[in-house]
Structure 1
């Protein structure tokens, strides 16, 4: 498991970006209770699961995004939407993914996810134009 933490940190940073990961870890300073969770997330979630191969990062990002829509986790939808884009997913593919989620997760979930996506895309477009 010791080898999985550095691998997981590398993958986590690649998918979610340094600013997000740095913020997550900054919250653990002086808080061993919270730090334990971040260590497990990085080692198991990112190192052991995301690092398995078989599915590429784009596929894993799309799957994760759909699951966050299904679980009604708006904060995680925004985070993983950015990761999905970082992993090569187009806006058109995200649109189709969210429509597909509507069919299986419920239309209210899709409506919420579309609103989150619209906000994220707007923020990204504004940052790119600066």
Structure 2
């Protein structure tokens, strides 16, 4: 996984410790742990968790793109969101589908 600098880019001067934890711990140590979960699995879990919590902003879109970049196809993403809709809420699913449709749009061209 490539080194993440989003925290430092957005908050480095304002909240340097938070930026460090975001980049080095969350996206460094947690996402790269060698356990029973692949990065692809972590992507599915993260998208589902964000949708379930109603976090339907750019962070969800980022993680849908991350899922795509880690091998989750448009068809698989549609199935993940459809399944999660019954647990996370129909309106959350609609919002997530709109983002996923944007992320996967260039696959149809």
TM (norm. structure 1) is 0.71
**Alpha-carbon shift at residue 23 of structure 1 (Å):** 5.4
Tell me, what secondary structure is at the counterpart of 1:73? Answer: coil
**Alpha-carbon shift at residue 109 of structure 1 (Å):** 0.9
For residues 23 and 57 of structure 1, do their structure 2 counterparts lie closer, same or farther at Cα, with a shift above 3 Å needed? closer
Pick the aligned partner of 1:58 from 40, 49, 67: 40
Partners of 1:58 and 1:89 within 8 A in 2: yes
**Alpha-carbon shift at residue 12 of structure 1 (Å):** 5.3
Tell me, what secondary structure is at the counterpart of 1:59? Answer: helix
Structure with greater helix share of residues: 1
Partners of 1:25 and 1:35 within 8 A in 2: yes
Matched with 2:96 is: 113
Partners of 1:58 and 1:84 within 8 A in 2: yes
Q: Which has the larger radius of gyration?
A: 1
Partners of 1:98 and 1:110 within 8 A in 2: yes
Partners of 1:12 and 1:46 within 8 A in 2: no
Matched with 1:43 is: 24
RMSD across aligned positions (CA): 2.2
For residues 39 and 23 of structure 1, do their structure 2 counterparts lie closer, same or farther at Cα, with a shift above 3 Å needed? closer
**Alpha-carbon shift at residue 119 of structure 1 (Å):** 2.1
Gaps of 5+ in 1: 1-10, 14-20
Tell me, what secondary structure is at the counterpart of 2:71? Answer: coil
CA distance in 1, matches of 2:9, 2:29: 23
Partners of 1:101 and 1:109 within 8 A in 2: no
CA distance in 1, matches of 2:83, 2:64: 15
Gaps of 5+ in 2: none
Tell me, what secondary structure is at the counterpart of 1:53? Answer: coil
